[in-house]
Amino acid sequence: MLDQQATGFTGEITATADHWLLTNFCPVQTLLVENLENCYEYLTVAPGRCLAPVPFELCRVSVAGRTTGPYLTVFGPEPKHAQARPAPCAAVREAEPALNPRATYFAVLRTLCEPRLRGSTSSPLPTSEQIAHRLGSKMTVRAVNAHIEYLTDKLRLTRGCGREVLVETAIRHRMVPLEC
């Protein structure tokens, strides 16, 4: 049981074999559950919601919308993983196009995503000039921009949607490794 005087919110945690459940007893405040192992994974538990399943092993529970204040760190059970995967249905096509990790466009994408992959959601993304400099003398600013346009088309994003959308899409769909 979470105590409102000690933590700023009230709730109840119920542990199971491979996940845990969170009940939000607060009638007006939403609880935010952040995965401490991956800053891009989080969930919210609405006011009055009972037994919301939480799949994260290590997370922080706080009141949504507050950047400071009390929070609770939860060490949950390790989730179970499937032993063997069934063969995919032949009629189902891949939802996202595969990226070649040995291609130059992938190196551009990875360099573009590095600040976010390191957990910094507020630092600016590198410019084309910075990416070209980082990748070597044969890479030009124009080439970097061409690779970014190619990735935008390949991922079926709207032309001109911006680098932030490209980076967010690549990270959300795990197109680049989470560790740099």
Which parts of the chain fold into alpha helices (H)?
Answer: 4-7, 104-117, 128-135, 141-154, 163-172
Closest CA to 180 of 123, 120, 133: 120
How far apart (Å, rounded) are the C-alpha atoms in residues 10 and 31? 9
Residues 69-82: what's their mean pLDDT? 81
Q: What is the largest CA-CA distance in the chain?
A: 60
Q: Are 41 and 58 in contact (CB under 8 A)?
A: no
Nearest 10 degrees: CA dihedral of 171, 176, 177, 180? -90
3-state secondary structure of 112: helix
Q: Which residue, chain included where needed, has tokens 């800053």?
A: 39
Q: What is the pLDDT of residues 94-110, one digit of tens each?
A: 555 678 888 999 999 99
3-state secondary structure of 74: strand
pTM of the complete model: 0.53
Q: What pLDDT is recorded for position 90?
A: 61
Q: What pLDDT is recorded for position 176?
A: 84
List 23's β-bridge partners, or say none: 12
CB within 8 Å of 106: residues ≥ 6 apart: 99, 100, 176
Within 36-110, strands assigned E span 42-45, 52-54, 58-63, 72-75
Residues 161-173: what's their mean pLDDT? 86
Q: How far apart are the first and last CA of the chain?
A: 38
Q: Are 78 and 56 in contact (CB under 8 A)?
A: no
3-state secondary structure of 97: coil
Q: What pLDDT is recorded for position 21?
A: 92
Residues 21-27: what's their mean pLDDT? 91
